[in-house]
Structure 1
Amino acid sequence: MVRAEITTPEDRMKILEETIKSFSERAGSHDKYRTFPFENYKELKRIGYPSWTIPKQDGGAGISLTEMLELQEALAKSDGPTALSIGWHMGITKHLGENKTWNEKTYQAFVKTVIEDGALLNNAASEPATGSPTRGGRPVTEARGKEGIWVINGRKNFTTMAPVLTYFVVSASIAGTDKIGNFIIKRENKGVKIEETWDSVAMKATGSHDLLLEDVIVDKEALVEYIIPGTKPAAGWLLHIPACYIGIARAAQEYAIEFALNYSPNSIDGTIAELPTVKQKIGQMELLVQESRHFLYSVAKKWDKSDNETRQGMKPELGAAKLSVVNRAIDIVDIAMRIVGARSLSEENPLQRFYRDVRAGLHNPPMDDMTINQLASRAIKRQSY
């Protein structure tokens, strides 16, 4: 539930920062032992965080995209996997509130559980046979209509936050037609199973397991929308992805600077922070951080201020921000590791975890090659006039 005393962006950032202090202390252990940070979600629910992107008229805080990214970036500095995971819920919930693509009754029932119980939702769209849904593959998962119900069968992979999700929004081909739909399915539905398949070396604590659907029965209203794979409208909320990775990169930056300020080998006077070569690297990191954050937040602010027509023309900018920020986040962590040296490869050193985690961003949508093609098409079209 949204707490009465949390009324301004400053209030929200303050209480979030207080809440997530312990997240960074636990992150290394969850990564090392492949455990899921259930306690993090309990704490985020306690402050009402999952409801903050719900519009005010629906009972949430109605935060802007820019504020959402600032909060997600701060969260990622403490725990990247938790930030990336809940970022999907925050972004999808924001999108639903702004666009009202679902039946109003279904939508209101959903937001009520988020506000009152901290219910969590994520899309389940990826499948082994189709690869990334952004490339337009038809789901193998199938929904078969019967009298008053749907019966759904299939398997989804990369179902991030699977251990704590309340709802899954599942894409499925509709039997006997060429249509594809999104179906909202509750965790407690009979036939819903989680198979713990997540064995990635990056973002270990996201719990991105397989979702199995075996003769899952839902009512007709569970079909919340029809979709055409590969033709999604521009989605500003997906900027939660680069916000997460620049947050991780900033954690690496701070660790490296702190190390440099305190490491004093007996071969020099003072600390290595005074060495020109180390100063160069610190400066390079700071330049990349500033470039990335300016790019990310300028695009987010444009989105916040724009009407829908302008937003739908922003796909290349949104993709470019994601591509640029994620790749620079990888560079920042790499430079941080060069400052710290061989110690950065120690299992107990957080930099090796940051390095593995930021590389996961290369495989989050939109993919780099798709973004480059969009940018090329825009540039060619502009030049053709």
Structure 2
Amino acid sequence: MSEIGNRIQAFVKLGEFLSLFSQNTNENISNFNNSDDFISGFKHQIKLAEENNGWFTNENLDFAFHQWSVALKENNLKKWLSNYNLNTVNPKTVAVIMAGNIPMVGFHDFICVLITGHSIIVKLSSNDKYLLPYLAKYLEYIEPSFKGKIKFTEEKLEKYDAVIATGSDNTSRYFEYYFKNKPSIIRKNRNSVAVLSGEETKEQLELLGEDIFRYYGLGCRNVSKIFVPLNYNFDNFFDAIYKFNNIINEKKYTNNYDYNKAVYLMSLFNVLENGFLMLKEDQNYASPIATVFYEYYTDAESLKNKFNTEKDKIQCIVSNGFDEEEIKFGQTQKPELWDYADGVDTIRFLLEV
């Protein structure tokens, strides 16, 4: 088997390993007898991740592991990579600075660098520092050619040829200055939106709840703002998302809900709310936790022009028949391997480094 084939098979096995930690799997644990120590070890890392970050609940970790186990199926990997000629890669060292807002949020960059044949230096967020180093050890165990190609550091980055960095609008300015002499992908704040027509079914609005509440809305692919037609009736929306009401029992979420509600009340803002989510009319895209902004629109073309003008602020558009590149309700946190953050083709960048 070729080197590329070996790398693909290694990530297939990694996906199978991750499936063991999801309740949505039928994977037979007996197939992993030689990895018993890794299984118990990763369970310990999961426990540490939960203790370190209150947003990393068992449910959300389970969801992340399941989604990656699905993405790393052999047919998905081959379909993804079939668009590229990986034989032309001149191996370099790529530094990757990862965010920590949702579990394993930098995992896609990690895969991209290694599967193209490069070496990687990873600078992790303190909010998500346990899972990936352990998975890297397992990857080296099943595919020894990765040994020496994966490094994690908390120190100043040194001896690298290119950079992929994810952060806020503020940190991106620092990244752009600091890495100005290196080939780079610098990611800033983005948010996702949903466009409603008023004709959505209850099922579609329930699925929109998944786009809003998964990972507590902390991801750039989470819907943080909805656009609705004039005179939109929010009753159907609130009725459909009521199934997510248990989220208010999560202490960190509740604290944010109570705090933001108090701020809105003191500021005399007109807010719609149902006891676990607030809707606030606002021109901005990035809404606080437990809040979704909304804005009225008059016609689809004007809204499309607005999105085109402000496309650097938008990660995903969720709708039904509004946009050619729209994402279906309930699918924002289920991206394919070829769904690149900010629309920047990471593999193409790595092939040209």
Q: Normalising by structure 2, what TM-score?
A: 0.27
**Bigger proportion of residues as helix:** 1
Q: Normalising by structure 1, what TM-score?
A: 0.25
